[in-house]
């Protein structure tokens, strides 16, 4: 045993100071390895749809419904099972509603029966966990009661009366509602062991801040950054272009309340500036996109004024970023200096196009990327607001602490967008950061810069470059989280010719459809060669109504963006895919459109419409087969060495 190893064991002995404590922990960890693998739940492209997101979390993509069916079977009719699953999802609200339909004299019997079934469901969903883990999940006020109910067996003769008396006492002392709510929340907590968010929490929908609040309190979660997440991360770091994009997206979708009410950021300076500078200008191209049918209409003139004002600021500050970052190779997206204000045209490449609108009161043709003094003042106030919002900082800190550009978890590779490829399927090289990189190295390099945007000293060159890279990740031509040749915001707003609106997808998306060899090469690039390894991908909605399938490249790729956002429902025909992996296999769930929380409670509607098996494991998976299991085996090995050191007198207990 070398000195370094002995020093490590001495440190470990502070946690396990005796032979008995070390041996007990080895026994405990060995037993955990033999437990079935917990359920992993994958969601992507949530885009602010908080009610649907929270409902999918509550039902575990249909897992709760399956557990209820397994417990009740044919003992009760379908109406009762629907009632019970809805009760599990929304216990407090459903109990209040049930008071309208259950007669007072029936409540005691209903309580006894429902408590019994809920206890049985808890027993089933808790079977994969240690008693200590389940105990920690139970609220302290009912920990003893619930633990007794789920660990005792009522069928044992000596315990039957004891078990029934607990249930009866719960009803008699008037705490049945509280215990039911506790049991329902416990089922929701235990039905999923770990949650993966594969990008795009923000933009389009009304409640990304509500979703982030939930993720901050969720028991076990990781996040892969999508391009709509990194632009908010850049905004929180104070990057002007990211801030402008965030506001433009929010005003376009009628969601300024997310910024103002959700994060407490004052937009009055922008509103006042827009009302003054854009009072008598052409606003015809700046209607708000409001509903899921793609219809445009105005809520008020001020929104259109703010929309155009922040868009012009965006083009200016983006031009500044492109100018100071030649490594981004994005000069073709600096278009303000290509405008001929006399002819009202813009030159893109070798072509000249007439502009639908050339009414830009704040643009100086001689210095088009310079902010006017009023714009500069507005941006300073916005930067202050975004960088000093405590709630936004809390949410973005979670994205950094629990998130990354990609994740390798239990043999699967998770990323949001793509691994940029050339037309011949080789890895595309980038010079961002002054270093040529591709594949996994590109991901790692870009992430290192993205982290500097948040963690480097404020105002430092590293922090500014990090913020610029976060903007690049949002829309850059070789950004793995974006995956398109360019973002054509200017062209869509000001040029009629739709050919200029094209945002060419990276070659990745063509190859990933059917080429299993390309998928395997990508997995290998990230160190994954197992036959059960998959790429789990979001970003591009699967158009189910056109016959597209989320299973690509011979089953190696699972594209699970099915249009969670209402903005995509008309395009995809469904309301998103989610993925679940448990100890028996992995399956995709196709979701129906979610009407509302109130509808789910009153009409007992669920949104799971179809389940598609991806893979059935040849043998059941256990904790020992997971990444956590690998870590536990290392701990067991260290503890075994410590135990040996105690017994051989190398370390004193």
Tell me: the pLDDT tens digits for 333-357?
999 999 999 999 999 999 999 999 9
Q: Looking at the predicted structure, is the pLDDT value of residue 8 above 60?
A: yes
Give me 390's structure tokens.
Answer: 């405590």
**Per-residue model confidence as pLDDT tens digits over 392-420:** 999 999 999 999 999 999 999 999 999 99
| Predicted local distance difference test score (pLDDT) of residue 532 | 86
Q: What is the arithmetic mean of pLDDT over 231-239?
A: 98
What are the tens digits of pLDDT across the range 620-642? 999 999 999 999 999 999 999 99
Q: What pLDDT is attached to residue 367?
A: 97
Q: Is the pLDDT of residue 376 over 70?
A: yes
Condensed to tens digits (0 to 9), the pLDDT of residues 243-283 reads 999 999 999 998 999 999 999 999 999 999 999 999 999 99
Mean pLDDT, the chain, rounded, equals 91
Cβ-based neighbours of 124, under 8 Å, separated by 6 or more: 67, 70, 71
Which pLDDT belongs to residue 13?
93
List Cβ neighbours of 410 (8 Å cut-off, separation of 6 or more).
37, 40, 581, 626, 627
Task: Report residue 194's pLDDT band, with 50, 70 and 90 as the boundaries.
Answer: very high
What residues contact 582, with CB distance under 8 A and at least 6 apart?
Answer: 36, 37, 38, 39, 40, 621
Residue 501 pLDDT: 96
**Does 226 have pLDDT greater than 70?**
yes
**Among 26-35, 131-140, 559-568, 608-617, which is the least confidently predicted range?**
559-568
- Answer yes or no: is pLDDT of 23 > 90: yes
Contacts of 388 (CB under 8 A, 6+ apart): none
Q: Is the pLDDT of residue 574 over 60?
A: no
Least confident window among 162-171, 368-377, 380-389: 162-171
Average pLDDT over residues 586-611: 76
For residues 428-454, average pLDDT: 96
pLDDT digits (tens, 9 = 90+) for 480-527: 999 999 999 999 999 999 999 999 999 999 999 999 999 999 999 999
pLDDT of residue 46: 92
Please compute the mean of the pLDDT values over residues 98-108 and round it to a whole number. Answer: 90
Pair of tokens at residue 398: 């979670």
Q: Say if CB 227 and CB 473 are below 8 A apart.
A: yes
421 closest CA partner among 408, 439, 436: 439
pLDDT of residue 293 exceeding 70: no
Return the number of other C-beta atoms located less than 10 Å from residue 218's C-beta: 16
> What's the confidence (pLDDT) of residue 561?
77
Residue 296's pLDDT is 45
Share of the chain above pLDDT 90, in %: 75
| Sign of the alpha-carbon dihedral angle for 269, 271, 275, 278 | positive
Q: Percent of the chain, pLDDT > 70?
A: 94
pLDDT score recorded for residue 608: 64
For 55-82, write each residue's pLDDT tens digit: 889 988 888 988 999 999 989 999 999 9
Asked if pLDDT for residue 330 goes beyond 90, the answer is yes
pTM over 0.95: no
Residue 292 is predicted with a pLDDT of 46
Which one has a higher pLDDT value, 316 or 297? 316
The phi and psi torsions of 481 (rounded to 5 degrees) equal -90, -10
User: Model confidence over 540-559: pLDDT tens digits?
Assistant: 877 666 777 889 999 999 99
């Amino acid at each position: 045993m070398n000195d370094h190893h002995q020093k490590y064991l001495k440190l470990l002995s502070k946690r396990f100071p005796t032979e008995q404590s070390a041996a007990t922990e080895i026994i405990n960890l060995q037993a955990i390895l033999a437990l079935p693998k917990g359920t992993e739940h994958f969601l992507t492209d949530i885009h602010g749809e908080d009610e649907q997101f929270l409902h999918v979390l509550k039902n575990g993509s249909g897992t709760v419904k399956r557990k209820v069916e397994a417990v009740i079977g044919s003992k009760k009719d379908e109406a009762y099972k629907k009632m019970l699953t809805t009760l599990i999802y929304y216990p407090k609200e459903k109990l209040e509603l049930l008071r309208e339909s259950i007669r007072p004299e029936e409540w005691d019997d209903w309580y006894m029966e429902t408590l019994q079934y809920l206890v049985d469901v808890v027993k089933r969903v808790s079977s994969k966990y240690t008693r200590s883990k389940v105990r920690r999940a139970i609220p302290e006020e009912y920990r003893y009661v619930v633990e007794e109910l789920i660990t005792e067996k009522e069928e044992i003769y000596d315990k039957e009366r004891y078990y029934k008396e607990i249930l009866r006492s719960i009803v008699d002392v008037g705490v049945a509602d509280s215990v039911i709510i506790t049991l329902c929340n416990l089922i929701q907590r235990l039905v999923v062991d770990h949650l993966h968010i594969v990008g795009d929490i923000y933009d389009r929908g009304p409640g990304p801040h509500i979703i982030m609040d939930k993720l901050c309190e969720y028991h076990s979660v990781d996040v892969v950054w999508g391009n709509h997440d990194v632009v908010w991360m850049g905004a929180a770091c104070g990057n002007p272009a990211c801030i402008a994009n965030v506001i433009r997206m929010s005003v376009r979708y009628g969601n300024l309340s997310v910024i103002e009410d959700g994060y407490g950021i004052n937009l009055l300076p922008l509103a006042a500036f827009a009302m003054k500078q854009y009072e008598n200008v052409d606003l015809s191209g700046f209607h708000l996109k409001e509903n899921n049918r793609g219809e445009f209409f105005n809520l008020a003139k001020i929104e259109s004024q703010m929309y155009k004002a922040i868009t012009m600021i965006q083009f200016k500050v983006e031009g500044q970023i492109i100018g100071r970052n030649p490594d981004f190779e994005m000069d073709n997206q600096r278009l303000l200096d290509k405008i001929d204000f006399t002819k009202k045209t813009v030159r893109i490449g070798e072509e000249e196009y007439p502009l639908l609108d050339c009414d830009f009161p704040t643009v100086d043709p001689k210095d088009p990327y310079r902010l006017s003094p009023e714009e500069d003042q507005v941006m300073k106030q916005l930067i202050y607001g975004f960088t000093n919002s405590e709630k936004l900082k809390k949410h973005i800190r979670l994205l950094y602490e629990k998130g990354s550009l990609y994740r390798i978890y239990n043999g699967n590779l998770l990323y949001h967008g793509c691994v940029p490829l050339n037309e011949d399927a080789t890895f595309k090289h980038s010079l961002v950061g002054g270093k040529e990189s591709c594949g996994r190295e590109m991901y790692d390099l870009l992430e290192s810069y993205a982290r500097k945007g948040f963690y480097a000293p404020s105002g430092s060159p590293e922090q500014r470059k990090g913020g610029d890279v976060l903007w690049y990740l949002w829309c850059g031509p070789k950004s793995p989280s974006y995956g398109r040749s360019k973002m054509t915001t200017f062209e869509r707003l000001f040029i009629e010719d739709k050919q200029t609106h094209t945002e060419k997808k990276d070659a990745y998306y063509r190859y990933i459809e059917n080429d299993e060899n390309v998928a395997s090469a990508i997995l290998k690039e990230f160190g994954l060669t197992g036959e059960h390894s998959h790429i789990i991908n979001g970003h591009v909605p699967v158009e189910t109504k056109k016959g597209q399938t989320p299973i690509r490249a011979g089953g190696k790729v699972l594209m699970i963006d099915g249009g969670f956002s209402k903005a995509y429902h008309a395009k995809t025909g469904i309301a998103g895919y989610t993925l679940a992996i448990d100890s028996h296999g992995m399956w995709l769930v196709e979701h129906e459109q979610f009407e509302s929380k109130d509808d789910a409670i009153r009409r007992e509607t669920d949104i799971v419409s179809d389940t598609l098996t991806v893979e059935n494991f040849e043998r059941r998976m256990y904790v020992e087969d997971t990444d956590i299991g690998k870590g536990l085996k290392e701990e067991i090995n260290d503890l075994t060495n410590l135990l040996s050191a105690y017994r051989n007198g190398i370390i004193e207990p």
